[in-house]
Homo-oligomer: A and B are copies of this chain.
Amino acid sequence: MDFFPAALEALIDQFARLPGVGRKSAQRLAFYVMDLPETEATAFAEAILAARQTVHVCPQCQNLTDAELCSICRSSRRDPSTVCVVADPKDVIAMERAREFHGHYHVLHGVLSPMSHVGPDDLRITELTHRVAQGEIQEIIMATNPDAEGETTAMYIARLLKPFGVRVTRLAYGVPVGGNLEYADDATLLRALEGRREI
Contacts and interface: CB of A to CB of B under 8 A. Distances in A.
Interface of A: 1, 3-8, 10-11, 13-14, 18-21, 25, 27-34, 36, 38, 41-55, 64-67, 89-90, 92-93, 96-97
B32 A28 contact: no
A42 B41 CA distance: 15
Contacts of A52: 33-34, 36, 38, 41-42
A197 to B, nearest CB: 31
B5 A50 contact: no
A8 B64 contact: yes
B51 A10 contact: yes
Nearest to A41: B52
Contacts of A93: 1, 3-4
Contact of A19 (B5, B28, B42, B48): B28
B66 A6 contact: yes
A51 B90 contact: no
B45 A5 contact: no
B55 A5 contact: yes
A65 B7 contact: no
Contact of A31 (B32, B50, B89): B89
Nearest to A67: B5
A12 to B, nearest CB: 9
A48 B11 contact: yes
12 contacts: A3-B92, A3-B96, A4-B64, A7-B51, A8-B66, A10-B51, A11-B50, A11-B51, A19-B29, A19-B32, A38-B52, A45-B45
Given A5-B67, A7-B51, 15 more contacts: A1-B97, A5-B64, A5-B65, A6-B54, A6-B66, A7-B50, A7-B55, A10-B51, A11-B51, A14-B44, A20-B28, A34-B55, A36-B52, A42-B49, A42-B52
